Amino acid sequence: MTNEQNLAQIGVVGLAVMGSNLARNFASRGHTVAVYNRSAGKTEAFMAAFGETGNFISSETIEEFVASLERPRKAIIMVQAGAATDAVINQLADAMEEGDVIIDGGNALFTDTIRREKEMALRGRHFVGAGISGGEEGALNGPSIMPGGPVESWESLGPLLESIAAKVDGVPCVTHIGPDGAGHFVKMVHNGIEYADMQVIGEAYQLLRFGAGLEPAEIADIFAEWNKGDLDSYLIEITAEVLRQVDAETGKPLVDVILDAAGQKGTGRWTVKEALDLGIPTTGIGEAVFARALSSSLDQRAAAQGNLPTGALKTFEDLGISREEFIEDVRRALYASKLVAYAQGFDEIQAGSAEHDWDVDPRDLATIWRGGCIIRAKFLNRIREAYDANPELPSLLLDPYFNGELKDLIDSWRRIVIVATQLGLPAPVFTSSLAYYDSLRAERLPAAIIQGQRDFFGAHTYRRIDKEGSFHTLWSADRSEIAVES
């Protein structure tokens, strides 16, 4: 039902949970919201449940839906990523006019977003790929939103998105990230960081549970305590909740009856694939993605259990450390590893931005990730301050504040990596992050050997530390060195 007097400021296509919640969020901020879903049953169910809670205009066809929107029309697509998104984009573009804005709020691969933006620009439509984080709850009450696309579209879209975004100190958790695929790229890396953040929390749990022998409820208390300090974050907070939960059926801690095989929908994997292409070592995110894959290799794990030699392991008691000291060491190792994951994620965003000429400002990300999204954390204020003080920071780890923190963390971090190894407990992100850290600060890396090997077997040449140019040693002749034109 539409009439000229009552047009919607925004439309939502796709009324599964995320789409419904986003539509309700817009309506709760006083906007009139057009809603449409491919199968009309879902639209009817939505209107029956929420039609009275705000101003909604429902439509049964995409043409009717488009006609119910104010110009320039703005419609957010919240359907399955991939072919469904393409189908809906084309239906909307057919029904829309020059200057109208199509927003994809799903987790699209940023290269698809770049392609779609080009196709839509040729048809005179603005296409905005917007990453939306915060899950169902965030979509309803205030997500963190990362829109890309043409800057002109931000003028009309910005105020609408600002109205529904989470707010921290009155600042909305949304800003225009950059052209075409910038928003979805940044959302992808956000999710990659989320993977690493979740994994380091998991590693801390594993050490406290199976190293120090603490019960889930005790660890819940520890996490709740950590949540009051440097680690204050949504993920730490919900981990305490998960650990406290008791299974109604068995009376056991829920964490003990959940199958330990982690799922994934792909954004972590994309982050790592892209990092490989950009040549950015996002080792923390990579280990986190692999840890999920390993956890899900159930047959292989079953075959290996009890069948791989462990060597001489120590027990926690053998180590002669106090529980209190150990708990604090674990906290510090978690914090340090988390810092590395963020530093690497920001490196990837800056490399992606340079590669695609997006001009993404890292300060914006630190600002809009402080609320609404899954990795929201107090710590992001510090990241913002770090880039405010030096926008050209070569690595977050070199910011004076974080550098000072690392001074306090490093000894604990090393101890935990040693202890985890002695106990035979895997801590892949703690361990590889420390290797990254030691590699980054090393005066000499074994890469000189690799260059020597490459020159030996493939005449790939090497550079020298003491003069310009490329060189090759005549390995199979007299082993003299020649300068090579590069």
Binding site for NADP(+), by residue number, is: 14-19, 37-39, 79-81, 107
CA distance 388 to 378: 16
194 is catalytic: yes
Site for ligand ATR in 19-78 (CB under 6 A): 37-39, 42
Binding positions are 14-19, 37-39, 79-81, 107, 133-135, 190-191, 195, 265, 292, 454, 460
Radius of gyration of the chain (CA): 26
- The SS3 assignment for 144 reads strand
CA distance 62 to 407: 59
Of 286, 274, 269, 263, nearest to 110 (Cα)? 274
Q: What distances in angstroms separate CA 267 from CA 139, 188, 233, 272, 473, one per listed residue?
A: 18, 5, 21, 9, 44
- The SS3 assignment for 126 reads strand
| Minimum distance from residue 258 beta carbon to ligand ATR (Å) | 21
CA 228 to chain centroid, in Å, comes to 23
Count of residues of this chain found to bind ligand ATR when the rule CB under 6 A is applied: 14
| Minimum distance from residue 136 beta carbon to ligand ATR (Å) | 8
Q: Which stretch binds ligand ATR (CB under 6 A): 63-71, 80-88, 190-198, 374-382?
A: 80-88
CA distance 162 to 155: 11
Quick one: 62 or 419, whose CB is closer to ligand ATR? 62
Site for ligand ATR in 6-25 (CB under 6 A): 14-18
Assess 87 for contact with ligand ATR (CB under 6 A): yes
| Minimum distance from residue 95 beta carbon to ligand ATR (Å) | 14
| Minimum distance from residue 247 beta carbon to ligand ATR (Å) | 26
| Minimum distance from residue 341 beta carbon to ligand ATR (Å) | 27
Q: Which stretch binds ligand ATR (CB under 6 A): 81-89, 189-197, 208-216, 220-228?
A: 81-89
Q: Which amino acid is at 170?
A: G
Q: What residues are paired with 13 via a beta bridge? A: 36, 77
Task: Give yes or no for a contact between 134 and 373, defined as CB atoms under 8 angstroms apart.
Answer: yes
Of positions 84, 171, 254, 410, contacts ligand ATR by CB under 6 A: 84
Quick one: 15 or 174, whose CB is closer to ligand ATR? 15
Quick one: 44 or 225, whose CB is closer to ligand ATR? 44
Q: Which amino acid is at 390?
A: N
Residue 383, CB-side half-sphere exposure with 13 Å CA sphere: 29
CA distance 52 to 35: 14
Structure tokens, 237: 């907070």
Quick one: 88 or 365, whose CB is closer to ligand ATR? 88
Among residues 117, 187, 203, 405, the one annotated as catalytic is 187
Quick one: 139 or 189, whose CB is closer to ligand ATR? 139
The residues binding ligand ATR (CB under 6 A) are 14-18, 37-39, 42, 79-80, 84, 87-88
Catalytic residue ranges:
187, 194
